[in-house]
Amino acid sequence: MKKITKKTARKPVVASPSQTLAKLCRDIALDKKAEDPLILDVSAVSSVADCFVICTGTSEPHLKAIATEVEQRLRERGYRMRRQDGYPASRWLVLDYGSVLIHIFHPEMRQRYALEQLWGDGHRVK
């Protein structure tokens, strides 16, 4: 039997506070029928944020509905948005929660900016 040492002992995987917030944002976006949501942990490669939540809305009203729902439900839990950038008409909204940025794209804009590839050095969170 192999002796367990500090080097061989596995540490339990614990989500960071940023990942926990990102998962909450993803789940809220899914409740509003956001498409293809994903979470990128970019903490090792970015000083901007720890996590990006990226999702797609199918129309300008859908983008706005997702953003509004995320903001309202996070506010109920005590989170305050630092700022929002973009407009539904621009087909890309960004909600800034400090360590977590939520990118809500129209499909064409998501493909154009390809954040998943741009920040490919980050890792996807399940």
pTM, rounded to two decimals: 0.86
CA angle 37, 38, 40 (to 5 degrees): 155
The residues spanned by each domain of the chain are 17-125
Class of domain 17-125: alpha beta
**Which tens digits make up the pLDDT trace of 33-88?**
999 999 999 999 999 999 999 999 999 999 999 999 999 999 999 999 999 999 88
Give yes or no for a contact between 91 and 106, defined as CB atoms under 8 angstroms apart. Answer: yes
Tell me which residue of 38, 41, 93 sits closest to 64, measured CA to CA: 93
Gap between the Cα atoms of 97 and 12, Å rounded = 27
